[in-house]
Amino acid sequence: MEAVAKLRNVPTSPRKMRLVANLVRGKRVTQALGLLRFEANSGAEKVEKLLLSALANWQLKNADERIEDANLYVTEIMVDEGRQLKRLRPAPQGRGHRIRKRSNHITLTVGPQRESQMTKKEINAMNRALTSIDAATSTETPANA
């Protein structure tokens, strides 16, 4: 089961925040928290806090499970453009240059890894495990048959 956390009107440009979002997209939650903790980008603090909020939301939905045993991944993270504050900065000869102070909205989803998000290496390992299980069960035939 997935859990979602949203952060709206973050006063950082979406382009800068997408750099941080691309670091954690598809990663395990523990690995993502480690990356965010030591990332120098200022947006990393906000994404880390949002990831912790998503984990708390997941814990509320799944009170009987432990986070460590759940094998959670950052299944989806989106950074959308928020509103822009338009300001004027004085320029030469009495003109004014427009300054756009951008903001963004972040949506983060945490849950078990979907097969579409698995890497080729993980898919091959799963297929090998399934074929070995099928081979083991097909060799064991009942004595009465």
Write the pLDDT tens digit of every residue in 45-78.
Answer: 999 999 999 999 999 999 898 888 888 999 999 9
The model's pTM: 0.76
Question: To 10 degrees, the CA torsion angle through 85, 47, 108, 13?
Answer: 30
Count of CB atoms within 10 A of residue 78's CB?
Answer: 14
Percent of the chain surpassing pLDDT 70: 91
Q: Where are the domains of the chain?
A: 3-137
Task: Give the pLDDT of residue 69.
Answer: 86
Cβ proximity of 85 and 127 under 8 Å: no
Cβ proximity of 94 and 42 under 8 Å: no
Please give the Cα distance from 110 to 6 (Å, whole number): 12
Please give the Cα distance from 7 to 49 (Å, whole number): 10
Q: Is 138 exposed, middle or buried (0-12, 13-18, 19+ CB in 10 A)?
A: exposed
Task: Give the pLDDT of residue 141.
Answer: 55
Please give the Cα distance from 100 to 55 (Å, whole number): 34
Task: Give the pLDDT of residue 17.
Answer: 96
The SS3 call for residue 84 is coil
Pick the CATH number of 3-137 from 3.90.1150.10, 3.30.70.141, 3.40.1170.20, 3.90.470.10: 3.90.470.10
Among 15, 31, 42, CA closest to 103: 15
Task: Give the pLDDT of residue 85.
Answer: 96
Question: Can you list the residues of the chain whose pLDDT is less than 70?
Answer: 115-119, 138-145
Q: How far is CA 83 from CA 10, 69, 86, 105, in A?
A: 10, 39, 10, 9
